[in-house]
Amino acid sequence: MLTIDRLLEALSQMLKYLAACLLVLVAGLIALDVGMRVLFNAPILGVAEIVANGILIVAFLQVSYAVRIDGMLRSELMVARLSGRPKVVFECGAALLGALLFGLIAFASWDSMVRAIVVQEFEGHVSFPIPTWPVRVAIVGCSVLAVLNYLMIVAKALLFGRLDHVGRGAPM
Amino acid sequence: MGGPEFAIAIVSILIALILLSVPIVLALGLCSFFGIAYLTGNWSIAGSLLANTTYEAVRDYVFAVIPLFVLMGEFISKSGAAADVYSVINKSMKRLPGRLALATVGGNAVFGAVTGVSIASAAAFSRIAYPQMVRHGYDKSVALGSIAGSASLGMLIPPSILMIVWGVMSEQSIGKLFVAGVIPGLLLTAMFFTFIVGYAWLKPHLFGIGGSALTTIEADLDCLATRSELAGAFGVAILILTVLGGIWFGVFTPTEAAGIGVLLSLALALMKGVDFRGIREAILETGRISAPLLFLLITAQMYTRLLALGGIIDAIQAMLLGIGDSPVLILALMVLVWFVLGMFIDSVSIILLTVPIFAPLAITIGYDPIAFAIIGIVAIEAGLLTPPLGLCVYTVKSCVADPDATLAKIFMGSIPYWIILLLLVAIIATFPGLATWLPSQI
């Protein structure tokens, strides 16, 4: 099982780096667009659409990593006061809720993803159509990964009493 | 269908989950999903709303401002420009009592204009200003309080993540909200300055004046600012002028300004000698901070749909208006809710939870939406300085290595600052023009 955990860790790290690259690309694209518009009065076609879709993909690519480092914002009121077995039970409960939410997202988004791939769905202005499948695949794929990571948290806590993820993410 | 009972049930479950330390994004998402399923009696409607919201909620050009402004702040933090700004301000304030605390406030005000997150300022100044204040004989509680307290300037002085989130939730122009924060931000800086000078004048020993440290302080601090410090401060000034000036004069939208800001701050970081590793860390940190924020926005929109569908907004408004119809009383109640929530959860979550309900109510009772946004942000920031879980205080604690810097000391030192913040709330409520005048000029 720890091999699966290591695999999930490696995958989350990889997606995190991918998200970082995409973020830099988005920033560069916006800056280039503004530069072209201000200097040459020639904005780049489709930047707004690429940026909009890019941001959603960046968010989903980061989700596994956020789950693994306990990066989702929460009040520390209860967890800070617990230790030992009650804390393990508590964290398992929270992780199961996480698995439930992302499971629901993946399940609810599945049909639209399949449709987007099968009918090759495009959207945006006719001069710059964008395929919708990358975003839809990112939503479903990353949500499934988030579910696996949440379940891994539960498994590690119940089998080994380990709560590796707690406290890895600093407050914002 | 909904009604007062449903409203009370949903809000109680949400608050219970949040107090039980369930991540807020999960509490919002699940409450909304099951709430909508209950209201409509149909799982597939709830499912398709969830799928639609996930796909559409943040898939818009404007949401790029969040990671971009965070990235800009990260580059600036890595460049060490905060220390330069602090040093230049400090060296320009000879003979003022409490000058290190004043430089902390001034540095935060300037730093706040290039970063969107309060916590970034609290972390930066804990490392820069605290060791220096201790060396010069400052009372530790006073020193820590000035750092935690003045970090609130970061959220009030644009760019600010809180204003972006507020703008999104209440469908207001982010650019206008940014501009609206300028005068209250400067006013708050002036109020903090006045407090520190007065306090240092009344109790000089708390500010290292009169002790043995006095002989060294002038010699240590009065040397001229170095070339590198001036360059850093100059770079920050250019960045502020470009980003805020661009938005102000309508050259850029906030998203475009953020894109340009990222580029300029990257240039500044490289000029200040930040290596590839530092740049990489800044980018990764941006992902770590902004992805949970974007997820919060997704589930918050789901929650907004639940609020509308369940008639929860009307029910809570009726309850609040039932207590009394005086606008001042209702505003006081809302400020109280924010202040109390700020003791337990982070500021973005508070906005997502309360603004969909409070913003329409504020318009009903006659408050200007822009002034109301600034009032809300200041009140929430005040809560972040109060026990038991004020986040600004915890950040300062985690960034200061001194074991003597206890949470109790930081909370104690922060008291005057949140009182001043609440005072500012009262001032803006009385003179909303302080917030609305500048935006009306653009």
pLDDT digit string, tens, across residues B31-59: 999 999 999 998 999 999 999 999 988 88
Please judge whether A171 and B119 are an interchain contact, meaning their C-beta atoms are less than 8 angstroms apart: yes
Q: Does A98 touch chain B (CB under 8 A)?
A: yes
CA distance B434 to B428: 6
Q: Which two tokens stand for residue B385?
A: 């300085």
Please judge whether A52 and B252 are an interchain contact, meaning their C-beta atoms are less than 8 angstroms apart: no
Label residues A39-73 b or e (16+ Cβ within 10 Å = b): eeeeebebbbbbbbbbbbbbbbbbbbbbbbbbbbb
* Residue numbers in B near A125 (CB within 8 A): none
Q: Does A45 touch chain B (CB under 8 A)?
A: no
Confidence of residue A167 (pLDDT cuts 50, 70, 90): low
Is the CB of residue B418 less than 8 Å from the CB of residue B386? Answer: yes
Smallest Cα–Cα separation from B380: which of B118, B115, B25, B96?
B118
Smallest Cα–Cα separation from B76: which of B313, B240, B207?
B240
Please judge whether B47 and A104 are an interchain contact, meaning their C-beta atoms are less than 8 angstroms apart: yes
**pLDDT tens digits, B399-434:** 887 888 888 899 999 999 999 999 999 999 999 999
Q: What is the ipTM of this complex?
A: 0.91
Is the CB of residue B146 less than 8 Å from the CB of residue B130? Answer: no
DSSP class of residue B137? T
Residues 6+ apart with CB under 8 A from B39: B1, B2, B6, B306, B309, B310
> Once rounded to an integer, what is the mean pLDDT over residues B367-391?
90
Confidence of residue A169 (pLDDT cuts 50, 70, 90): very low
> Once rounded to an integer, what is the mean pLDDT over residues A80-96?
86
Is the CB of residue B291 less than 8 Å from the CB of residue A58? Answer: yes
**pLDDT tens digits, B188-215:** 999 999 999 999 999 998 988 765 444 4
State which residue of chain A sits closest to B62, comparing Cα positions. A52
Is the CB of residue B347 less than 8 Å from the CB of residue B118? Answer: yes
Q: Which of A96-100, A163-167, B316-320, B407-411 tops mean pLDDT?
A: A96-100
Label residues B92-125 b or e (16+ Cβ within 10 Å = b): ebeebbbbbbbbbbbbbbbbbbbbbbbbbbbbbb
Higher pLDDT, B8 or B421: B421
Strand partners, A122: A131
Of A16, A28, A52, the CB nearest to B60: A52
Q: Does A100 touch chain B (CB under 8 A)?
A: yes
- A19 alpha-carbon distance from chain centroid: 9
pLDDT for position A39 = 82
> Once rounded to an integer, what is the mean pLDDT over residues A127-137?
88
* Residue numbers in B near A34 (CB within 8 A): 252, 256, 259-260
**pLDDT tens digits, B385-394:** 988 778 788 8
* Residue numbers in B near A100 (CB within 8 A): 30
Q: Is omega for the bond preceding B159 within 30 degrees of 0, making it cis?
A: yes
Length of chain A: 172
Confidence of residue B220 (pLDDT cuts 50, 70, 90): low
pLDDT for position B213 = 47
In chain B, DSSP finds a helix count (H) and a strand count (E) of 23, 0
pLDDT for position B211 = 53
* Residue numbers in B near A137 (CB within 8 A): none
Smallest Cα–Cα separation from B162: which of B324, B315, B347?
B347
**3 state SS of A130:** strand
Is pLDDT of B397 > 60? yes
pLDDT for position B209 = 76
For A44-53, A59-68, B312-321, which range has the lowest pLDDT when averaged over its residues?
A: B312-321
Is the CB of residue B152 less than 8 Å from the CB of residue B414? Answer: no
Of A48, A62, A93, the CB nearest to B291: A62
CA distance B155 to chain A (A): 13
Helix (H), strand (E) at residue A131: strand A130-131
Higher pLDDT, B93 or B367: B367
Q: Which two tokens stand for residue A64?
A: 């596994």
Residue B138 phi, psi dihedral angles, 5° rounding? -70, 145
pLDDT for position B215 = 44
Q: Which two tokens stand for residue B204?
A: 């000089």
Q: Does B279 touch chain A (CB under 8 A)?
A: no
Is pLDDT of B378 > 90? yes
Answer yes or no: pTM beyond 0.80. yes
CA distance B121 to chain A (A): 11
State which residue of chain A sits closest to B391, comparing Cα positions. A171
Is pLDDT of B166 > 60? yes
SS (H, E, C) B306-368: HHHHCCHHHHHHHHHHHHCCCHHHHHHHHHHHHHHHHCCCCHHHHHHHHHHHHHHHHHHCCCC
Query: Distances in Å between the alpha carbon of B70 and those of A63, B51, B181?
Result: 17, 27, 18
Q: A74 — alpha (psi -120 to 50), left (phi > 0) or beta?
A: beta
pLDDT for position B210 = 65
Smallest Cα–Cα separation from B138: which of B85, B220, B217?
B217
Please judge whether A52 and B284 are an interchain contact, meaning their C-beta atoms are less than 8 angstroms apart: no
CA distance A137 to A135: 6
Higher pLDDT, A169 or B339: B339
Q: Does B255 touch chain A (CB under 8 A)?
A: yes
Residue type, B245: G
CA distance B228 to B110: 17
Residue type, B103: A
Smallest Cα–Cα separation from B35: which of B19, B23, B50?
B50
CA distance B45 to B113: 44
CA distance B314 to B318: 6
Higher pLDDT, A154 or B77: A154
CA angle B175, B146, B417 (to 5 degrees): 70
Is pLDDT of B222 > 70? no
CA distance B119 to chain A (A): 6
pLDDT for position A170 = 43
Smallest Cα–Cα separation from B109: which of B150, B76, B147?
B150
